[in-house]
Amino acid sequence: MNDMQLTKIWKTALLSGATVVTSSAVELPRMFSDHGVLQRGEAVSVWGWGSPGEAVSVEFGGQKVAGKANQNGEWRIELKNLAVNASGRKMTVTGDASGTAEVQDLLVGEVWMASGQSNMQRPLAGSEHGKEDIAAADFPGIRMFLSQQVPHDMPQRKVGGSWVVASPSTAGEFSAVGYYFALRLHQELGVPIGMIRPVFPGKPVEAFTSREGLLAKPEGAALVHAMDEEVRKFREQEPQLMAAFKAAMASGEPGRRRRGPHMPYSPALEEDAPSALYNGMIHPWVGYAMKGAIWYQGESNASRAKQYETIFPQLIEDWRRLWKNDFPFYFVQLANFKEPSTEPGVPDEWAELQNAQRLALSLPKTGMAVINDIGMADDVHPINKRDVGYRLARWALAKDYGKTGFCISGPLYKGSKVEGGSVRIEFDHAKGLKSRDGGPLKRFESAGADRKWHWADATIEGETVVASSKDVPQPVAVRYAWAANPAGANLVNDEGLPASLFHTDDWKLMTEQERQSK
């Protein structure tokens, strides 16, 4: 084994929080550790490692289930449906050849994964209402697994991190969106809520998707093949790169103003490489019983928005395939961002990404939190995370827990038809359509066969909007809020939830270019 291979093994072990096993002690991955939360109402798998062939038993919640480790020392045992428990119980795992491990203070309730990039990672301490909500965060029934951020070139079964109980001294580091989602569920359901937080700032959706999931469709496969070609070229150059690294290390080069020599780093290990974050941060959780997932990501794919129409649904389908569970998946549409626009007809990749997210609603058991009313022109990280988490929770409470009496979303485009010189637009979640400020509706555009967009007048008729423009006597398409920051967009429903942007045409998008495969 060469120096690079040894260094890579130890670096990976340290980053992932994996244990370097020097004995045959029974071992559990970090998700089965003190203060964790297990999913109620369904079978729960528990797994770990011991001596090859040894008998292993798991005792928890009045159940004691036995199993056997395979020739590699791996074992997996399934507990039957677990009832809610908010008081905390001990789990005992015993191997007849390698001793006993105990896990303390395990609750049983609802488990959700909260994943994505920096806006999902943003901590409660950095959110608009953070100070007051941290002070009030005395909720022992809310726990969050704060996962280490570890890319890897191969699927891993271990990840570093720990379960943390919500309290004024700990909640500040929680994902703000994940915390507010959990808080609303905890308040409404009265059961423990566990949130799994595998996040990584500034990374694209393909990094969170498995290799097999990406290869399932051409758009994702193109990303994998491009990476494979980079890796092939790297392998050809690796001996020369390693020799240069060793020479630089040996020389010391004192006094030079540079970071120092860098060990060659395979493209497959870069944090934004296809599957790199899946391998290191998502795969270790595959099989862990959970209710569903919430997701906030897309900023890093904005320049490839057309491609996102395919590769984002690939992630959802991939995770469901891996868990063998068609679980609910609720996501955040990107917020308004950048300088407000004032002209119609301007191409906008941010709007195209928002629209790609909207199109993912065609998948079953999905929902989208529209937040184009709470963004910030000068910051891609809007600080109002309370409304984001609460809007995601509306979907879960209604669709998964049977709660009623409230809107689950702002208006979502349903369909349209041309009526002479106007276009009638239909919406879902359209009860009580109105303008937010009481004035005329704004940010509707209309276009004719020439594909030139003009501002349109729009009026509400029941649960529809009728749009027309004096500049477009024969309209063929309309769109709404089509801009990164559509100043004045004001269509809401009776609970004040904002309408998503949409377009009715099928014309070529600005991101529908060759660069989308890069």
94-131 pLDDT per residue, tens: 999 989 999 999 999 999 999 999 999 999 999 999 99
How confident is residue 1, by pLDDT bands cut at 50, 70 and 90?
very low
- In the structure, what pLDDT confidence band is assigned to residue 253 with cuts at 50, 70 and 90? low
Q: Categorize the per-residue pLDDT at 518 as very low, low, confident or very high, splitting at 50, 70 and 90.
A: very low
Q: Is the pLDDT of residue 392 over 50?
A: yes
Domain boundaries, the chain: 25-197, 216-250+264-272, 412-514
pLDDT at 242 (0 to 100):
85
Q: Residue 262 has what pLDDT?
A: 61
Among 130-134, 137-141, 231-235, 413-417, the range scoring the smallest mean pLDDT is 231-235
Q: Does 61 score more than 50 pLDDT?
A: yes
pTM: 0.93
Mean pLDDT value of segment 293-309: 98
pLDDT higher than threshold 50 for residue 437: yes
Q: What is the DSSP string of 361-402?
A: GGSTTEEEE--TTS-BTTBSS-S--HHHHHHHHHHHHHHTT-
Q: How confident is the model at residue 263 (pLDDT cuts 50, 70, 90)?
A: low
Rounded to whole angstroms, the Cα distance separating 329 from 292 reads 6
Closest CA to 100 of 50, 32, 158: 50
pLDDT in tens, 145-165: 999 999 999 999 999 999 999
CA distance 431 to 412: 11
Question: Residue 12 has what pLDDT?
Answer: 41
Cα–Cα distance, 313 to 366 (Å, whole number): 10
In percent, how much of the chain has pLDDT > 70? 92
d(CA 456, CA 469): 4
Q: Is 74 helix (H, G, I), strand (E, B) or coil?
A: strand
Token representation of residue 416: 């349209």
Report residue 252's pLDDT band, with 50, 70 and 90 as the boundaries. Answer: low
Q: What per-residue confidence (pLDDT) applies to 22?
A: 34
Q: DSSP letter at 282?
A: I
- CATH 1.10.357.10 for domain 25-197, yes or no, is no
Query: pLDDT tens digits, residue range 457-488?
Result: 999 999 999 999 999 999 999 999 999 999 99
- Position 359 scores a pLDDT of 98
The answer to whether residue 424 scores a pLDDT higher than 70 is yes
Higher pLDDT, 307 or 259: 307
Q: Provide the pLDDT for residue 264.
A: 73
Element (H, E) at 141: strand 139-147
The predicted model gives 74-92 an average pLDDT of 97
Residues with Cβ within 8 Å of residue 468, at least 6 apart in sequence: 421, 422, 423, 446, 456, 457, 475
pLDDT value of residue 85: 98
Contact 277, 154 (CB under 8 A): no
Average pLDDT, the chain: 92
Class of residue 119 by CB neighbours under 10 A (exposed 0-12, middle 13-18, buried 19+) = buried
pLDDT at residue 445 in the model: 98
